[in-house]
């Protein structure tokens, strides 16, 4: 009987961990948008690029956010 109870508790724990991880990835992390503005001096930059802005967009997931 103890073995069956051990596996049942283990399964419940695993399901809870997976559910919490999915909730975090679906509801919490997408809200953490970070904007940074840095001045990065570049040696020998052509004059036609002086004053221009470089934008980097990273880690974008496009598509439906449904949990399957």
The pLDDT tens digits for 1-38 are 699 999 999 999 999 999 999 999 888 877 777 788 88
Cα Dmax for the chain: 78
Q: Identify whether 60 is part of a domain.
A: no
> Is residue 63 in a domain?
no
Domain that holds residue 14: 2-49
> How much is the average pLDDT of 41-47?
90
Report the pLDDT averaged over residues 38-59: 86
What's the sign of the alpha-carbon dihedral 32, 36, 42, 48?
A: positive
Within a domain: residue 54? no
Question: What per-residue confidence (pLDDT) applies to 48?
Answer: 92
pTM, full prediction? 0.49
Q: Tell whether 25 is covered by a domain.
A: yes
Residue 31 lies in a domain: yes
> By the 8 A CB rule, do 26 and 67 touch?
yes
Residue 19 lies inside a defined structural domain of this protein: yes
In the chain, the number of structural domains is 1
56 located within any domain = no
């Amino acid at each position: 009987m103890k073995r069956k109870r051990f596996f049942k508790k283990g399964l419940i724990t695993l399901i809870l961990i997976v559910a919490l991880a999915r909730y975090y990835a679906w509801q919490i992390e997408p809200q953490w948008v970070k904007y940074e503005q840095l001045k990065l001096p570049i040696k020998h930059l052509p004059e036609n690029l002086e004053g221009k802005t470089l934008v980097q967009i990273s880690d974008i997931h496009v598509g439906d956010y449904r949990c399957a």
